[in-house]
A and B are shown apart, each in its own frame.
Chain A
Amino acid sequence: MIYRMSAALLSLAGLFISAYLYLYKIGKIGSLACGTGGCETVQWSPWSRVGGIEVSLIGLLGYAFLLAASLLSLQPALGSRRTPSLLLAGLSGIAVLFTGYLTYLELFVIHAICRWCVASAVIIFALFLVALLDLRRLSRTTH
């Protein structure tokens, strides 16, 4: 259960970071705590929206979904089921790919780094890792 607990806590942290970035983007928070100034460059770049939707909002919804999935997976009845772990690994895997693309844009297209985006990237990668470890745990239990 430790992996699923970690997934829930990581999702919660990611949810707060996405909420912070989204609230900034919609003008509810005056400025971002970002020493390098790169956060604002990234947040106002044309790549801060995908298909007209704010990337931070996509992150917010994604983390909310991951949080709900990881909290559900903690229910005693689902403790030994593979489905919740597969769902977590699948979702966080997609998020890792999307984050990888966004990090590439920051480094090679926008030429600015947003430390909050980096924090989110670390979180999603860690989440993917714990989901894989949970799957491995279940495989060992089964066999």
Chain B
Amino acid sequence: MAATQRGMKRFYTLFAVVTVAGVAALGYLLTRPASISIPANVTVQPSDTSGFAGYVKGSKTAPVEITEFADYQCPFCQTFATLQMPTIEERLINTGRLRWRYRDFPLQQHPFARVAAHSAACADEQGKYWEQHSRIYEGQPEWAGAGNAAPLFRKYAQSAGLDLGRYDACMKAGKYAGRIQGDYNSGVAAGVTSTPTLLINGRLYRGRFDSDAITKLVDSLTRHASK
């Protein structure tokens, strides 16, 4: 009987140790700053992409449409977004000659590309997609080398005037993981292998990536279309 009691005492001691260790581990995980991770290769549900085909700026009646497949962590995409896009926007998009469609193509080697794309998608939910998009690209040198980029994206969201409660809930839920994967899959289907890649009126563009080259091309396509 004494042996049984000793055995039970040992068991309850072990049980208590395991319980304390488990609760402590879960408690630690719950209280540490959450590093947001957006899963890759998720199965895209029809609802993920329903009514969505990229983020669009420019007139619906513009004669030329360019679709850009880009990755927020790609240095070339960053240069293009910060140096060339302002001119393209001023010369072509704001004048109704070009419609721009941005689609996510997060490359596997860039650990924060999906989180960045998701952060912009969560901003879109509050009507601030392009504000967050620009801030993320402008801040790339700051966050690309950080251990955890999510707090920086949150800072940009705050400066863009987003409701942070909604933003945090959106990020934690990984709500747009399927939409991002859907964009990526569309890029693969269109033959995209690197970033940035442009599709001009639906055809892969292999020319120069500067505002002058794109302006000439848009001019040429517009003339061709009006003939």
The answer to whether A binds B is yes
User: Footprint of B on A, CB under 8 Å?
Assistant: 1-2, 5, 8-9, 12-13, 15-16, 19-20, 23, 27-32, 37, 40-41, 43-46, 74
Residues of chain A with a CB closer than 8 A to B42's CB? 41, 44-45
Say which residue of B18, B26, B43, B150 sits within 8 Å of A13 (CB atoms).
Answer: B18
Provide the bound-state CA to CA distance between A15 and B22, in Å.
9
Find chain B residues with CB under 8 A from A16 CB. Answer: 22, 25-26
Most central of A29, A45, A46 by chain B CB within 10 Å = A29
Report whether over half of chain B's contact residues are helix, strand or loop; otherwise say mixed. Answer: helix
Ordered nearest first, which 9 A-B pairs have the shortest CB separation?
A27-B172, A30-B34, A16-B22, A40-B39, A31-B37, A30-B35, A5-B11, A44-B39, A44-B42
Is B36 interfacial (CB 8 A cutoff)? yes
Question: Quick one: given A5-B11, A12-B19, A30-B34, are A19 and B26 in contact (CB under 8 Å)?
Answer: yes
Q: Shortest Cβ distance from B115 into chain A, in angstroms? A: 10
Evaluate whether A45 and B26 lie within 8 angstroms (CB atoms) in the complex, with A27-B174, A30-B34, A31-B35 already known. Answer: no
Which residue, of B30, B42, B169, B173, has the highest number of chain A Cβ atoms within 10 A? Answer: B42
Q: B35 — which chain A residues lie within 8 A by C-beta?
A: 30-31
Closest approach, in angstroms, between the C-beta of B82 and any C-beta of chain A? 29
Taken together as a complex, chains A and B put the C-alpha atoms of A8 and B15 apart, in Å, by: 8
Considering the complex, give the chain B residue whose CB is closest to the CB of A37. B40
Dominant SS among interface residues on chain A: helix
The reply to whether B37 and A40 form a contact with Cβ atoms under 8 Å apart is yes
Q: Complex formed: what's the CA distance from A124 to B173 in Å?
A: 29
Q: Is the CB of B4 within 8 A of A1?
A: yes
The answer to whether A12 touches B177 (Cβ under 8 A) is no
Tell me whether B18 and A12 are in contact (CB under 8 A): yes
Residue pair B18, A9 in contact (C-beta under 8 Å) = yes
Q: Choose from A2, A20, A41, A74 the contact partner of B26 (Cβ within 8 Å).
A: A20
Q: With A and B bound together, what is the CA distance between A68 and B29 in angstroms?
A: 25
Q: Is B109 an interface residue (CB 8 A)?
A: no
25 A–B pairs (Cβ distance < 8 Å), ordered by A: A9-B14, A9-B15, A12-B18, A12-B22, A16-B25, A19-B26, A23-B29, A23-B30, A27-B34, A27-B169, A27-B172, A29-B29, A29-B30, A30-B34, A30-B37, A31-B35, A31-B36, A31-B37, A37-B40, A40-B39, A41-B40, A43-B39, A44-B43, A74-B8, A74-B11
**Nearest chain B CB to A75 CB, angstrom units:** 10
Give Cα distance in the complex from A23 to B15, angstroms: 23
Determine if B45 is an interface residue (Cβ-Cβ < 8 Å). yes
Max chain A CB contacts within 10 Å: which of B4, B19, B37? B37
Query: Which residue of chain A has its CB nearest to the CB of B36?
Result: A30
Name the A residues within 8 Å of B34 (CB-CB): 27-30
Least Cβ–Cβ distance between A23 and chain B, in angstroms: 7
Contact with A along B3-41 (1 / 0, CB 8 A): 010011001001100110010011001100111110111
